[in-house]
Amino acid sequence: MTTEEFEELARAADRVTEGVRLEFVDGRLGAKAMPDGDHGCILEWLTRTFLLLRPELWLFYEQGLEVETYRSGRARPDGVLAPTGVFAGQPEWANPEPVLLVVEVTSHDRDTDLRDRQEKPIAYAQTGIPVYLLIDRDSCELVVYSEPRGGRYERILTVPFGSKISLPEPVRVDLDTESLKNWVD
């Protein structure tokens, strides 16, 4: 499937389906389930944190991004941290250059392991996105991927929910992850 064919399929799916968003990562078509309430609370917590500590930035929900080395992939991260207003006038699948961080919150579906833990770290690193934050509700851990080089993240830090962690440059935000314990099953 070409990128153009995927974009046409994604537009058609948005018109006729509810509860599913399509992505195209590593040459594979993927479906992303709509989030549950706890998923939304986690994104709300992150938004409030970033707004308080970095008010010049905004956490955009499900902003479509061109990803991978040759921008042939299409992903909809749960959150995209970038300067306020930077996506104004951008198409559905925006250029990822201004992105400082992408965040994914695991869902309770069978594709989470492959999509969020394997494919997306590679795609986001190839794209040069400085930080990938994975909030893993299955393992109750926060995984911070940073320092993208050569198509992979050179630094990976994993901490359990309840820890305090400093997100690296260019984000520069300290997170107290105690609240995350409230939103796991």
Residue 69: give its domain's CATH number. 3.90.1570.10
Give a yes or no: residue 100 inside a domain.
yes
Give a yes or no: residue 145 inside a domain.
yes
Extended strands (E) in 62-100: 64-67, 73-75, 79-83, 93-94
Tokens 């195209």 locate to: 24
**Amino acid letter for position 100:** L
For residues 89 and 10, give the distance between their C-alpha atoms in angstroms, rounded to a whole number.
20
Which pLDDT band holds residue 70 (cuts at 50, 70, 90)?
Answer: low
Give a yes or no: residue 178 inside a domain.
yes
pLDDT tens-digit profile of 116-125?
A: 778 889 999 9
Closest by CA position to 128, among listed 157, 105, 103, 102: 102
Give a yes or no: residue 110 inside a domain.
yes
Give a yes or no: residue 26 inside a domain.
no
Give the SS3 label for residue 70: coil
Residue 39 pLDDT: 84
Residue 116 pLDDT: 74
Give a yes or no: residue 174 inside a domain.
yes
Domain assignment of residue 157, given as a range: 35-183
Which pLDDT band holds residue 170 (cuts at 50, 70, 90)?
Answer: very high
pLDDT surpasses 80 at 26: no
Residue 107 pLDDT: 79
pLDDT surpasses 70 at 161: yes
Look at 19-33, 85-99, 129-143, 156-170 and tell me which has the smallest mean pLDDT: 19-33
pTM beyond 0.75: yes
Count of structural domains, the chain = 1
Give a yes or no: residue 11 inside a domain.
no
Which DSSP symbol is given to 35? P
For residues 163 and 133, give the distance between their C-alpha atoms in angstroms, rounded to a whole number.
14
Which DSSP symbol is given to 137? T
Give a yes or no: residue 16 inside a domain.
no
Closest by CA position to 86, among listed 74, 78, 98, 77: 98
For residues 52 and 38, give the distance between their C-alpha atoms in angstroms, rounded to a whole number.
21
